[in-house]
A and B are shown apart, each in its own frame.
Chain A
Amino acid sequence: EVQLVESGGNVVNPGGSLRLSCAASGFNLDDISMNWVRQAPGEGLEWLASISSSSNFIYYSDSIKGRFTISRDTADNSLVLQMTNLRADDSAVYYCAGGLQVHAFDIWGQGTVVTVSS
């Protein structure tokens, strides 16, 4: 079965760090560009970061630039989001998503919850 499964969400203090993972099964994650999207409580979807299949091209939204890093773990067939200097407004459900058969995001993980609070 083709699926994405996120992990790593937790409660963290402001200024802290967290590493999210998105494990793929049923396909090779390196074959497609991948993305992180988040959704704060009661809010809409916010695109955060994208990485090309080759990892040669990486882009971030202004809200996380300089604090978050997207990367691939090829050995684990997974996507990573390293988050540092976390703030209260980073609290959200974090989704990984990709375009497996189309240019839009046709595959999503179930999400992992990050709460930034002291």
Chain B
Amino acid sequence: ILMTQSPATLSVSPGERATLSCRASEDIRSDLAWYQQKPGQAPRLIMYDASTRATGVPDRFSGSGSGTDFTLTISSLQPEDFALYYCQQYSKWLLYSFGQGTKLEIK
């Protein structure tokens, strides 16, 4: 399953809202995760089942969508939120795939 993220780079000012998109090449129900990655660090799970926040993730992060189109929204950007974000489908058991990533940068 091909996962396509947009945009590749998103420039947003602190305090503003960021909206990241992810599209699957076929129906993946709600079997979608979002990961945050900062330089030199391993990815961190922030959202799973499309809209469930992982443990410890602040509620300014929200996820939505099902089927083929998904969105990660960060309601009021904090300095620590500027990072790379990847979506991943796990609809096909043990045959996973990631999107190419969105870089969220400070405007």
Determine the residue in chain B with the shortest Cβ distance to A59: B94
Please report which residues of chain B, range 46-68, place their CB below 8 angstroms from some CB of chain A when the two chains form the complex: 48-49, 52, 54
How many residue pairs link A and B with beta carbons under 8 A? The number is: 63
Cross-chain pairs A/B with CB under 8 angstroms, 25 sampled: A35-B96, A44-B98, A44-B99, A44-B101, A45-B37, A45-B43, A45-B88, A45-B101, A47-B96, A50-B95, A57-B93, A59-B94, A99-B90, A102-B54, A103-B31, A103-B48, A103-B90, A104-B45, A105-B35, A105-B43, A105-B88, A106-B45, A108-B44, A109-B42, A110-B42
Contact A57 B49 (CB under 8 A): no
Interface size class of B (residues with CB under 8 A): 20 to 34
Chain A interface (Cβ < 8 Å from any Cβ of B): 33, 35, 37, 44-47, 50-52, 57-59, 95, 97, 99, 102-106, 108-111
